Every structure is written in C-alpha cells, then in structure tokens.
Amino acid sequence: MKLYYARNSRAVRVAWLFEELGLSYKIQKFDLGAQEMRSPEYKKLHPMGRVPTLEDGSITIFESGAIIQYILEKNKNHKLIPSSDDEKYANYLQWFHYAEGMIMPPMNIIVVETILLPPERSNETNVKRATKLLGQMLSAVDHHLVGRDYLAGEFSAADLMTGHAVVMASKLGADISDKPTLQTYIQRLTDRPAFKKASNL
C-alpha cells in the first residue's frame, strides 16, 4: 500500500495506524500545500489535491476515516476496534466519527480565516464563532476522558481519529488551559512511539 502524506495533515492518522500495526507501506511525501498536490496527475488520485490518499493495487481511497477503516478491515489481527458485541463498541463508533463531525469543522474555519486567507480578507466574527465552538467540542472530549486513558477504554482507532484532531487543535492554538484531562490525554498520545514516527516522516 502507498500513502500520499504531508506533515500536520490528516495523513498522519493513516501513517500512525500503519506504525501502530507494524505494517510496511510506501510513502510519497509532500509539503503541505505544495504545487505538486494540484498537478493533473495527482488530481487523478485525489480530485481536490489533498492528502491523505491511499493506493492499494487498483483501489484508491482519499478520506482518512475511510482509509483507516479499510486498513483495519484488511488486517483483522489487531485490538484497535472493540468487538461489535462489546458494550464499548457504540462508544467507539461515536468517538471515531466525532473528529470529522464535531472538531474539524470549526478548525477548518479557523485555518482558512487565520492562515490561508490574507489578513484583509479574514473575518474576525467567523474566527470568534469557530473558536468558541471548538472550545465546546474539546470540552466534551475532556469531560468524557475523566477517569479514562483513552476514548473507548483501551487505545483504539477512535484515538487515531479524534485524538489526532485534539492534538492538531492544540497545535493550532486552541485554549486547553482549563482542560487538564485533555492536556494529559494529548501527552499520552504524543508520547506513543508510533505517533512520533508518523508525525515526522
């Protein structure tokens, strides 16, 4: 399998999974936003010119959550998903999807308004609303983690998804000073050797 990757992107989630499972993979590295990502050749793989993209023979997938589910289904000898008859399974599903459903939308607005747009086009009202919403989304994670090391009990693919989103929110400057449980969780994730390797390919 071949992963198209850039640091500080959702592609880190996929590399992190490969490293946690000890799977070999090929990698094509980009600088985030590089011109090559918008080339006609790459847009045949990912029509929006983004990462991650995964190639596996004749199969191409470019949504990080779908890629993770695909890899886990192909490599079933792991403990990163609770059994469907385990009471933790519904909780796992919720937090697996929480990343893209709840955390990333306000983060995307903040990135666009504060990084991608020139200052004269940035909308301060949009930034304030998104920042407030992001804080609420992170508070829910912080509250859930009280008394837990990971989102679904043991370390799971939910942590690859929502945990990564939480780490990226912190890097983006989200205020977590009033969320000590979240701070500890972030440290726990970023201390994992697989995370360190995946973040710095």
All structural domains of the chain = 2-74 (3.40.30.10), 89-195 (1.20.1050.10)
Residue 116 has pLDDT above 80, yes or no: yes
Tell me if 149 sits within 8 A of 188, measured CB to CB: yes
Per-residue model confidence (pLDDT) at position 51: 96
The residue-averaged pLDDT of 71-94 equals 93
Contacting residues for 83 by C-beta, under 8 A, at least 6 apart: 89
Q: Report the C-alpha gap between 179 and 141 in whole angstroms.
A: 9
Tell me if 54 sits within 8 A of 10, measured CB to CB: no
Residue 180 has pLDDT above 80, yes or no: yes
Task: For residue 90, give both structure tokens.
Answer: 């519904």
Banded pLDDT at 133 (limits 50, 70, 90): very high
Tens-place pLDDT, residues 7-53: 999 999 999 999 999 999 999 999 988 999 999 999 999 999 999 99
Per-residue model confidence (pLDDT) at position 77: 75
Per-residue model confidence (pLDDT) at position 76: 85
Cis-peptide, bond into residue 118, ω within 30° of zero: no
Per-residue model confidence (pLDDT) at position 150: 98
Per-residue model confidence (pLDDT) at position 29: 97
| DSSP 8-state symbol, 128 | H
Per-residue model confidence (pLDDT) at position 78: 84
Residue 79 has pLDDT above 90, yes or no: no
* Percent residues over pLDDT 70 in the chain: 100
Tell me if 75 sits within 8 A of 44, measured CB to CB: no
